[in-house]
Structure 1
Amino acid sequence: MTSGLTLDFAVERLPLAKPFRISGHVFTESEVVVVTLSDGTHSGRGEAAGVYYLGDDVAAMTAAIARVRDAVAGGITREALQALLPAGGARNAIDCALWELEARRSGIAVHELAGLPAPRPLRTTFTLGADDPDVMAAGAVGYAQARALKLKLTGDLALDIARVDAVRAARPECWIGVDANQGFAIGELDALVAALVAADVKLLEQPLARGREADLDGYRCPIPIAADESVLTLADVDGLAGRFDVVNIKLDKCGGLTEGLAMAHRARALGLGVMVGNMVSSSLAMAPAFIVGQLCDIVDLDGPIFLAADRTPSIEYRDGDAWCGEAIWGRG
Structure 2
Amino acid sequence: MVNPAGPQLTIGIETWPIAGQFTISRGAKTQARVVVAELSDGRFRGRGECVPYARYRESPETVAARLQELAGAVAAGLTRDALQQALPPGAARNALDCAFWDFEAKQSATPVHVLAGLPPPGPLTTAFTISLGTPQAMAEAARAASARPLLKVKLGAEGDPERIAAIRAAVPATELIVDANEGWTADNLAENLRACAAAGVTLVEQPLPADADEPLRNIARPVPVCADESAHDRASLPALIGKYDAVNIKLDKTGGLTEALAMSAEAHSLGLMTMAGCMVATSLSMAPAMLIAQDTRVADLDGPLLLARDRPDGLVYDGSIVHPAKPQLWG
Q: Does the aligned pair in 1 maintain the 2:149–2:175 contact within 8 Å?
A: yes
Structure 1: runs of 5 or more not aligned: none
Where 1:211 maps in the other structure, the secondary structure is helix
Shift of 1:218: 2.3
Asked if the contact 2:146–2:174 (Cα under 8 Å) also holds between the matched residues in 1, the reply is: no
**Counterpart residue number, 2:111:** 109
Report SS of the residue matched to 1:46: strand
Gaps of 5+ in 2: none
- 1:23 equivalent among 22, 25, 31: 25
State the AA in 1 paired with 2:245. D
| Structure 1 counterpart of 2:91 | 89
- Kindly state the Cα deviation for residue 216 of structure 1 after the two structures are TM-superposed: 1.8
Give CA-to-partner distance per residue, 1:284-323, whole Å, 9 cap, x none. Answer: 1000111111121110000111111111112222253211
SS in 2 for 1:280: coil
Counterparts of 2:5 and 2:219 in 1: how far apart (Å)?
51
CA RMSD of aligned residues (A): 1.4
Aligned residue number for residue 196 of structure 1: 196
SS at match of 1:100: helix
Shift of 1:268: 0.5
- CA contact 1:100–1:329 (8 Å) conserved in 2: no
Instruction: Write the distance in 1 (CA, Å) between the matches of 2:68 and 2:81.
Output: 19
The one-letter code sitting in structure 1 at the alignment partner of 2:290 is F
> Is residue 248–residue 276 contact of structure 1 (8 Å, CA) maintained in 2?
yes
| Counterpart in the other structure of 1:160 | 160
How far apart are 1:161 and its partner, in Å? 1.4
TM normalised by structure 1 equals: 0.95
Between the aligned residues of both structures, percent identity stands at 42
The amino acid that maps onto 1:220 is A
> Which residue of 1 is the match for residue 285 of structure 2?
285
Q: Choose the corresponding residue for 1:39, options 41, 45, 48.
A: 41
1:64-213 paired onto structure 2 within 5 Å:
64-156=66-158, 159-213=159-213
Deviation at 1:24, TM superposition (A): 2.0
Shift of 1:9: 1.0
Query: Would the aligned equivalents of 2:6 and 2:76 in 1 still touch at CA under 8 Å?
Result: yes
1:289-304 superposed matches below 5 A: 289-304=289-304
Q: Is contact 1:81–1:95 with CA below 8 Å preserved after alignment?
A: yes
Cα offsets for 1:193-252 (capped at 9, x unmatched): 111111111111100001113222222202100000001122101211111011101111
| 2:230 equivalent in structure 1 | 230
2:184/2:207 contact within 8 Å kept = yes
Q: Distance in 2 between matches of 1:126 and 1:46?
A: 23
Q: Which amino acid aligns with 2:65?
A: A
One-letter code aligned to 1:129: S
Partner Cα separation in structure 2 for residue 21 and residue 180 of structure 1: 12
1:48 corresponds, among 47, 50, 55, to: 50
CA contact (8 A) 2:6 2:74 kept: no
The question of whether the paired residues in 2 share the 8 Å contact of 1:123 and 1:299 is answered with yes
Q: How much has 1:25 moved relative to structure 2?
A: 1.2
For residue 328 of structure 1, report the CA deviation from its aligned partner: 5.0
SS in 2 for 1:187: coil
- Structure 1 residues 212 and 121: alpha-carbon distance in aligned structure 2, compared to 1, 3 A threshold: same
SS of the residue 2:69 aligns to: helix
Q: Give the AA of the match of 2:326.
A: E
Residue 12 of structure 2 corresponds to residue 10 of structure 1: yes
